[in-house]
Each structure stands twice: as C-alpha cells, then as structure tokens.
A and B are shown apart, each in its own frame.
Chain A
Amino acid sequence: MQLVSIDRAFVFLLATLGLFSPLVLVASQAKRARILAIALIVGSNVVGCFVAALCFWRESVVLVDFSSFTPFPFALEIDRLSALFLLLICTVAVPVAIFAVSYFGDHYGKERRNWMWAFFSLFLVSMIVVVTARTGFAFLVGWELMTLLSAGLILMEGDSTERRHNVFLYLLMMHAGAAAVVASFFLFLPYSHSLDFASIRTASGAVPAGTRTLVFLLAFLGFGTKAGIIPLHLWLPRAHPIAPSPVSALMSGVMLKTAVYGFVRFVFDFLGGGPWWSGYAVLSVAAVTGLLGILYAIAENDLKRLLAYSSVENIGIIFLGLGTSLIFLAHHAPVWAGLALVGALLHAFNHALFKSLLFLGAGAISNAAHTVDLEKLGGLQSRMPVTGATLLVACCSIAGLPLFNGFVSEWVIFRSLLAGSVLINTKAQVLLPLTVGVLALIGGLAAACFVKVFGVAFLGRPRSKAAEHAEEVPLAMRTGLGLLATSCVGIGIFPGLLLRPLVSLVQVLVPGAGVPPETVSIARVIPFAAAIILGVSITAALLKRRERMVRTWACGLPGLTSRMQYTSTAFSKPIRFVFSSVYRPDRKIDKLPTDQPYFPVSITYRSVRTTSYEKAIYRPFAEMILSAAHRLRRMQTGNIQVYLLYIFLTLVLLLAFLRFQK
C-alpha cells in the first residue's frame, strides 16, 4: 500500500516538473498561472524529498516503467544510490526554487521569466531522470537534456559574444563527454544484450578484462568531463559563472553530482571496481584536480568564477574518496573501501548544499550590489546580516571547518586515507597516507580562499558605491539561503543522520563493507565538541563588558579610505607568489612611450592566468581538427574535372581492392 503511494508521488514529481509546470508556464502569461506553476515546482520537490528520504532510509524501491511506450526501454527506478542523489537534487531544488522566486522576478521580464521557470523545471526533471534511470537509454536521454537545458538557461540570461563562446565550449565538451559515456554504456552491449542496468550488472562478470578497462577509462573520461576534473575542467569556470545564480547553484551544486553518480554507478555498481591501477589513476587525477582547482580559485576575483573553480576542487576531493575506495577494492579491503565511498558520497551531498548556498549568496550579492567582483564589494555584513550569516556558514562548510558539514565528509576521507597503511601493498601503503598531506593542503588553501571571499566581500569597508548602498535581499531569497545554511549546520553537527543510511547504501555497492566504527565515533564526538565550543563561546559572549566606537587605527593619519584596505588580489598574492609555477601567468607590461622608459605616460599591465590548458591541449587539438577540415575544404576545389577525377579514382581504387581481395 505504502509502496504504491511512493510510486505515485514519484510519478507526480516527474509529471509536475516535466510536463505540467512547463506547460502552464509556456501556455499562460498570467500571474496566477505562474504562481501555481512555481508552487507546484516547489511542492513537487518537497514531495520528491520525502520520496527520496523514504527510499533512502527505508530501503523501499520505486519503479516506474515507460518501456512499452518509448522506442527503447525507458524505466526509472529509485534504489538506494538513486535515492541519495534524488534526495540531493530535491533538497537543493527547494531552497533554490524559493530563492529564484524573487531572483527571477527581479531580473527578467514576464515572458522570459516564464521561459526561465519552464526550463528550470525541465532541467530539474532531466537531472532526476539521470539519477533514477534504470536503462541506458533513459540515462542518456536525461544526460543530454541536462546539458541542453542548462545551456538554454545560460543563453536566456544573455547572448553576448563571450557568453556564446563559453556556452559553445560548454556544449561541445559536454557532447564529447557524453559520447564517452555512450561508448562506455554500449561496450557492455555485446555481453548484456540490453542496456537495462540489471542486465548490465549481471553481465559485467562476463566482460573481458580489456573491455572492462575500456569501460572504466571511458566512464572516467566521460563523467570526468561533466564533473570537471582537470584538465577536462575547461568549460566549468566559464559556463557556471555566466548562468543566472539559481541556475549556477543547480549546475555547480547538483549537475556536477550527476557525474559523480554516473561514475559510482558504472565503476562500483556495474564493474565492481576497475583494473588494479584504476584507483591510483583516479587518486592522482583527483589530487591534481583538487589542488589546482583551489589554487585557481584563490587567484580569482570574480566571485562566481571563484566558486566555479572551487567546485573543481571539491570534485577533486570527491574523486579522491572514490579513488581511495577503488584502491581498497583492488586490494580486497572492502571495509575501508566502503568508508572511503561513504566519504565521497557524503562530500558530494555536502558540496551540493554549500555550493548551491554559495552561488545563491553570490546571486544575493549581485542582487544587492549589482556586481560579483570582489574588488568592488566589502562591508556587506552590516548591510545584509542574514545573507552574510548564511554565507559565513557556507564558507565555513566549504573550508571544512568542524561543526559544519564539509568537515564530516573530509574527515571520513582523511580517515580512509589513513587506513591505507593497513594494506599489504607497499604502493598503497605509502601513497594513501601521503595523500592525507595533499588533502590537508587542499583544505588549508580552501580555508584561505574562503577567508578571502567572506572577508573581502562582507567585512571591512565597502569598495564601491553600489556595495555601500546595498540592502538586504527580499524574504524569498533569505528563506532559500536560510534553509540551505540550516541543513549545512544540521549535517555538520549531527552527521549520524546521513552517515548511517550511507553506510548501508555502501554495503550494497561494496559487498563486504561492514559498518566502520569510525562513522559512529565521529557522529558521537562532534555534538560534544559543538556543545563545548558553543557553550564556551556563548558564556564568554555573555560576560559583561563596555563597548565604545573608535576610529580604526590608521598609523595616526586621518581619513582611512576603503582604497587602503587589503584587496582580494593583495590577499591572494602570497599564495600566488609561492605557487607561481602553477599559474604561469602571461604578464605583459606596456609602457608608453617606449623610448622614454623613465617618464611613462601610461603603463598598462595585463596578466592572463590559467590558459595553459588551452594552449597546451585544447588549442592544438582544435587546430588539428580545423586544419584537417580546411585541407578537405581545399580538396573541394570547385573544378568539375577534379570532381570527376575523384569519382574515377574511387572506382579504380575499389577495383584494385576487389582484385586484391581475390
């Protein structure tokens, strides 16, 4: 009885998001219709949360099958893994949608707003399809639609040349990544005879080792592109920042996680672990991704770009967990493999929460101060206290500070890395514990990065008129921010809520994974620590004291201006200096006039960063393809005699081939 109702709720979710709301929005411009549609979007996502939660905690399985209708089997199923990600989508979608109510309202005219909402709703449903798909066909349909719809949302925001270029890059890389995903699905086909997940799972034992390796590589490549692992991340810092903030929140917070889902589904569920070196490959790529991601992030001054790079970093952390898990799997240590997987999945979930919170916060900032350039912000905390508080929560979470959710997942990954020492294999024994150092470095840099974000944007004096006149954002936005911040703190203090079901989820994916006592102990100790910290802090805060306003110390000079504050660029300078080899900046200083170097009229300074991937990998590749195309184009000379010659030559070649065959 109950199962039936969950089924229905899920169908309701799909129908509302995928059909009803978009139709209403497209069909009618009326305010009432829009309100209805938005209410349905929010409501159905709440329902989705419940559905997912029921499936996640109660292990119910929901199955919706459209196969009899569609040309290829199209079925959706919520098993535990899907439930986790469905929960992730819906949990993030609710606050984001609430936030968007006032964001879209402020930014767009009536018609475009309706289209935005329609695409928003469809985007959500496409992601839901991806994570609940039970057949390859359904998965791929959702996968492609997800990209398309997000690109549509980006283009609706505006279509300047630069934006179009970025969207183009995004679409192209996503398509190429999707091709890899398609290939990795289809590689099972000769053995499983259908793309049904169940049959793939059963057939995967019969797949020869070479094909398994190929599947693994393609899945890593395909999902890695979507996730944004370096050097396949090129699109991410370009596409995410230019979307409307709620959409960026969904893209960075949720869409990237579908790639994690896909990778876990493939490598853990289907393959049951890759070849022996797979873990090391993933681990090293992930370490590089995490480290470079955060280093690029810290050097950014555009808040949304910074957040996008930080997503790259967090994807690195997630894959670090996945790689660790694969190493343990390869060395037959399922308990620890399970723990690492728990860490990775939990971090995926946490990152969804705090990254969407951060992007929403960026949206709130742009709403209030009309810019997300850190160099033009400052002093927002006293002007937008609620936004500031929620963003502080997000910054703490993403920096991995205890009492916030980011810490818990990083802790689990740390713990599993440490456990590498119990393995017999020397490589793993050395590598995994050493990776602790890498993760620590990533964590330290992340903390530095988000000190900068919060410190520069919210503290001190405003650096521009707009920031000075910023006002607190409307209630809807605050509600969205508040919901996400609450969940961040909630999970941060009571991680047991998620850890326990995650452990049982992992036991399904990794046979033999017990309940590591670690998960229990961390869940127990954190609330105590929280109690101590909060108790002491509040007690100290309650002590009686007198306060007096005094001008900031300015070495005795009058008139400290906001230009004297440390800027975002200045803040990151030491780190950029130390890691300058990573950035390889293209600096260019032009002094005019050139013949009088000591009496310049103007000096221009330009520094372009992080283009080395483009220069080293993408440009040559693109140029290779384009030059091939141009060569072919020249072969199309326009001379009919040459055309005829082609035909004759083809014929002669084929006849020769025939002769040769004989």
Chain B
Amino acid sequence: MGLVEIATGKVLSSFSVFLFLTILLLVVARRISTSVLLFSVQSAIIAAEVFATGFRERLAEAYVVGALILVIKVVAIPRAFFGLVDHLKTSHDVKASTTPTQSVFIAAAMIYLSYAAVHSYGQSVHVPEDALAASVALILTGAFLMVSRNKALMQMLGLLVLENGIFLAALTTTFGMPLVIEIGVFFDILIGLLLMGIFTFRIRDTFDHLDVSKLRRLRG
C-alpha cells in the first residue's frame, strides 16, 4: 500500500517534467514516426496521471477514462498513424518551416509562458501549478506544430497534442468531466481522425503530395 501511495505521489509530482521533455522532443523531431512515438509516450504519461488521480480521489470513472486513453491514444492512434504513413507511401520527413534550434527556443518560451499564464490562475483555482502549466504548454505546442509543420499528418498530430493539453487541463482542474461526455469526446476525436485520414488519402490522390502549405488554390 505504502508503495502504491508513494508511486502515485511520484507520478503526480514528476509527470509534468516528463511532459515538458516530450514537448521539447516533439518540436525537434524530424521524422513523423518519431513524433508519433513521442505522442504515444505523452499519452501514456497522461494515462498514468489519470490512474493516479483516480486512485487518490477514489474515482471509479477515472479508471475507465484511463483505460480508454491507453487503448485509444497510446495504442490505437499511433498504430493508425504508422499504418497511414505506410499506406500513403510518403516521405517520413515532417517538413518543418522552422529549424530545430528555433523550434526548441520557441518551445522553451512557450513553457515559460505557460507558467507565467498559469501563475495567477493556479492560485485562484487551487490546482497543482505544474500540471496546469503542462497542459497549457501542450495546447501551445499543439498549436505550434499545426502552424509550423507542413505535412498533413503532422497537423493531425498537432491537433492531438492540443487535445491532450485540453484533456489534461480538465483532468487537473476538475478530475475530468462526467463519463458520458468524456466518452462522447473520445468518440468525436476518433471519428475526426478517421475523417482526416480519409482526407489525407484524398489529398495524396488529387495533389500527389501531403504538403498542406501548398494547398493554396482557394484564397482571397
């Protein structure tokens, strides 16, 4: 028992550090598969966080949610991504429009920013500041990935990271939303990813590339 308690505490206190690590790695990753793997790890950390919270707050629902994360985000989605990469026969390059150095500095700035942003809120809401900062940082990173990566797949990944951030925020502040809603959200994300997958195929078929920055026929 004591061991479990200690482990829970450790997880809760240290997971944000790991999350920051994944963030930094994500922004410098050059290959799609690396990024997907990092996303998987990130999701796993969050899943651990969910389980830990569920254990500490005695929430049965949290276990279900945690399991869902494990199944969907840690396993299913990364697998689907790998499958997509294979099927699309596209290069593994993420096609970043920023250099890795820039990216790292931007990511660091974002982490700092998120601490700065959370500082005032954290005190008013009484939640662990680290966790909230991590979630904000995740949101920002997701946004950054979507804006700076030209590959359609990386945009999807950015969206997922962003969504992870939102989920984490919900988790740390309110211990998650009601289960039905949570499941609905998961369902939506799944369908959304499915559709995005369909569209990546269509983009590949019609344009022979997956570079979204070149989709500029419609403008003005």
A positions within 8 Å CB-CB of B: 633-634, 636-641, 644-645, 648, 655
Contact = CB atoms under 8 A, between A and B. Distances in A.
Nearest to A655: B117
Interface stretch (B43-51, B66-74, B146-154): B146-154
A636 B219 contact: yes
A22 B98 CA distance: 68
B6 interface: no
A644 B117 CA distance: 21
Given A641-B147, A655-B117, 5 more contacts: A636-B219, A638-B216, A638-B218, A638-B220, A639-B215
Contacts of A636: 219-220
Given A633-B220, A655-B117, A640 B143 contact: no
A656 to B, nearest CB: 10
Interface in B82-103: 97
B150 A638 contact: no
Contacts of B155: 640
B190 to A, nearest CB: 22
A463 to B, nearest CB: 52
7 contacts: A637-B216, A638-B219, A638-B220, A641-B147, A641-B148, A641-B150, A655-B117
Contacts, number: 34
Interface in B190-220: 212-213, 215-220
B146 A644 contact: yes
Given A640-B212, A641-B212, A648 B147 contact: yes
Contacts of A640: 155, 212-213, 215
A302 B109 CA distance: 72
Interface residues of B, number: 16
B213 A644 contact: no
Nearest to B214: A639
A638 B146 contact: no
B203 to A, nearest CB: 11
A143 B143 CA distance: 51
Contacts of A637: 216, 219
Nearest to B148: A641
B213 A641 contact: yes
The 7 tightest CB contacts between A and B, nearest first, are A638-B219, A638-B216, A633-B220, A641-B147, A648-B143, A645-B147, A644-B146
Nearest to B146: A644
A635 to B, nearest CB: 9
Given A639-B213, A655-B117, A644 B147 contact: yes
Contacts of A645: 147
Contacts of B213: 639-641
A639 B216 CA distance: 6
Interface string B135-160: 00000000100111010000100000
A638 B219 CA distance: 4
Contacts of A639: 212-213, 215-216
A9 B123 CA distance: 77
A329 to B, nearest CB: 53
A641 B218 contact: no
A494 B154 CA distance: 89
Contacts of A638: 215-220
Interface in B12-67: none
A645 B215 CA distance: 16
A634 B97 CA distance: 21
Nearest to A642: B147
A636 B217 CA distance: 11
- The residue in A634, A640, A655 that gathers the most chain B C-beta atoms within 10 A of its C-beta is A640
A644 B213 CA distance: 12
A639 B217 CA distance: 9
Contacts of B97: 641
Contacts of B117: 655
A648 B148 CA distance: 13
B216 A641 contact: no
- The residue in A633, A636, A637, A638 that gathers the most chain B C-beta atoms within 10 A of its C-beta is A638
A341 B117 CA distance: 67
- The residue in B97, B146, B148, B217 that gathers the most chain A C-beta atoms within 10 A of its C-beta is B146
A182 B196 CA distance: 49
A633 B148 CA distance: 22
Contacts of B217: 638
Contacts of A644: 143, 146-147
